[in-house]
Amino acid sequence: MSASLPQPREKSPLGSAENATSYSVCLYHGGLAAALERFVQRVWPKDLSARFQASVSEPPSSPIFLFLKGPEVIGHIATVPVRLHSPSGIHVAYWVVGFMVLPEYRNGPIGPLLVKKVNETLDCALTLHVEEAPLKIFKGMGWKHAGVIPQYVLVCDAYAFLKNIRLGQVPRLRDRSGTGSTLLSAMLAQPPVRLVVAFLASIALKGFSLAAAILKPARGSGTVTEESGFDEGYNLLWEKVTHKYDALVVRNRSYLEFRYGTRMKNYRLLAYREKGELLGYCIVKLKQFIDDPRMGRMRVGTIVDCLFDPADLHGLQSLLTDAMRLCKREAVETIFCTASYAPLRRLLRVNGFIEIPGNLNFAYLDKMKSVQPDISLDSWHLMRGDSDADANF
């Protein structure tokens, strides 16, 4: 599609030929490779831009939407193909990722026009976004906002957590408390204050964990081992449990190999088996932050994905117990888990995880009525491993 659009208020970086420049929204093709590379290098850090460029094939495996000003890319949306399971069957769907507009062209029509093109092209699309601005655009273009996915934290080392966390840079805390969180961060930067607060926090957390443990189910009779790849058992597991979930991305062997296989060195795979049969798995990501504006130098473990039989919470307890043990062996100071599915959230709580403000908004476009219109967020099985939401964890 092409359109004659209002000019941005800021001066164009392309010079004085502004009025003669054409604008268009199109799908990526090989002739736009150089322009897309320039855009990616400008807006994303080197590690993410290199990963993105490596994923762009010719022709691309899934649609990439570009907003062009003349020959230059000034807006971008990519997609990741998946299959969505719901009671009505298996449906072709896409995660919408990499929604980005150059800073000097934001707050205008470019974002909505990109999403309009997505709406015209795709029947079913999903998005996980931290920022509020993209969410407003998706909602304005008819996407359903299911809510913010709950986030849970287990503090393993209270002193290290308080030393590293930058409360003034956590958006939801900053929005709620104004300068209060910044002042608290400054106070915690003082070692004596931090030591006292950490001591009191450790006692409180221990008490909470002991109280919660009363409701914790026993481990299952199977064993948990760390594995390095996905065998046929992952297909059998998916076939066994798929009908027990209301809505989730198909998590069979081919999906797991596509999502994690080439980057398995960044993850740790725990498999729960009984007499050789796979009954569940859990994927953990470990990360050492270096002078991060929010996390400082914290070492973090994140439970990014899992699949289990909802009727077998003993097996899930085995996986969760070993995931926590793995993190503690790796000197992790804090464990995070972002999860929408109600049974998983309940088990996190009885294992001492505390719910904190989440930051992942889930919204979707469903032109084919693939899922029930009144399905609640806690009936979806969504985690940080979905889409590319674990990139910064």
Q: Tell me: pLDDT of 57 over 90.
A: no
pLDDT for res 179? 45
Instruction: Say if residue 127's pLDDT is above 90.
Output: yes
pLDDT at 246: 96
Q: Which amino acid is at 217?
A: P
Average pLDDT over the chain, rounded to whole? 84
- Residue-number span of the structural domain to which 181 is assigned: 150-358
392 within a domain of the structure (yes/no): no
Sequence-distant (≥ 6) Cβ neighbours of residue 280 within 8 angstroms: 237, 271, 272, 306, 307, 308, 309, 312, 315, 316, 318, 319
Q: Which structure tokens are listed for 123?
A: 């029947």
Q: Are residues 237 and 345 in the same domain?
A: yes
- Shared domain check, 159 and 38: no
The answer to whether residues 167 and 235 belong to one domain is yes
User: How does residue 391 score in pLDDT terms, banded at 50, 70 and 90?
Assistant: confident
What would the pLDDT profile of 286-328 be if each residue is shown by its tens digit?
Answer: 999 988 888 888 899 999 999 999 999 999 999 999 999 999 9
Q: How many CB atoms lie within 10 A of CB 242?
A: 15
Residues ≥6 apart with Cβ < 8 Å to 293: 166, 169
The confidence score (pLDDT) of residue 12 equals: 40
Question: Considering its fold, how many domains does the chain have in total?
Answer: 2
Residue 332 clears pLDDT 50, i.e. is over it: yes
For residue 64, tell me if it sits in a domain: yes
Same domain, 80 and 205: no
Q: How far apart are CA 215 and CA 343, in angstroms?
A: 13
Residue 317 is predicted with a pLDDT of: 95
Which of 142, 176, 192 represents a domain boundary (last residue)? 142
Residue 247 is predicted with a pLDDT of 97
What is the pLDDT, as a whole number, of residue 380? 98
Residues 44-69, mean pLDDT to the nearest whole number: 70
Burial class (CB in 10 A: 0-12, 13-18, 19+), 349: middle
Percent of the chain with pLDDT over 70: 78
Per-residue pLDDT, averaged over 245-255, amounts to 97
Distance between the two ends of the chain, CA-based, in angstroms?
37
For residue 226, the model assigns a pLDDT of 97
Encode pLDDT of 164-204 as tens digits.
Answer: 766 554 554 444 444 445 545 555 555 654 455 555 556 66
CB 351 within 8 A of CB 216: yes
Higher pLDDT, 251 or 206: 251
Residues 104 and 191 in one domain: no
Per the domain annotation, does 248 fall within a domain? yes
Q: Which pLDDT score, from 0 to 100, does residue 205 have?
A: 58
Q: Please give the Cα distance from 312 to 181 (Å, whole number).
A: 41
> Under a CB-based contact definition with an 8 Å cutoff, are residues 393 and 300 in contact?
yes
Please tell me the predicted confidence (pLDDT) of residue 293: 81
- Give the pLDDT mean for 75-89: 95
Question: Does one domain contain both 7 and 93?
Answer: yes
Q: Quick check: is 372 in a domain?
A: no
**Among the ranges given (63-67, 158-162, 206-210, 246-250), the one the predictor scored with the smallest mean pLDDT:** 206-210
Question: Do residue 135 and residue 184 come from a single domain?
Answer: no
Same domain for 31 and 112, yes or no, is yes
Beta bridge partners of 101: 75
335 and 188: one domain?
A: yes
Pick the last residue of a domain from 92, 111, 142: 142
User: For residue 51, what pLDDT is reported?
Assistant: 52
Q: Is residue 48 part of a domain?
A: yes
User: Would residue 95 count as lying in a domain?
Assistant: yes
Residues 136 and 172 in one domain: no
**329 part of a folded domain:** yes
**Residues 185, 327: one domain?**
yes
Per-residue pLDDT at 180: 44
Confidence band, pLDDT 50/70/90 cuts, at residue 59: low
Count other C-beta atoms under 10 Å from residue 158's C-beta: 22
From the list 77, 75, 54, the residue with the least C-alpha distance to 64 is 77
DSSP 8-state code for residue 296: B
3-state secondary structure of 6: coil
Whether 387 is in a domain gets the answer: no
Give the CATH number for residue 117.
Answer: 3.40.630.30
Q: Are residues 8 and 111 in the same domain?
A: yes
pLDDT value at residue 90: 96
Higher per-residue pLDDT: 231 or 11: 231
Is the model's pLDDT at 5 over the cut of 80? no
From 87, 107, 142, give the residue that closes a domain: 142
Cα–Cα distance for residue pair 353/355, rounded to 1 Å: 7
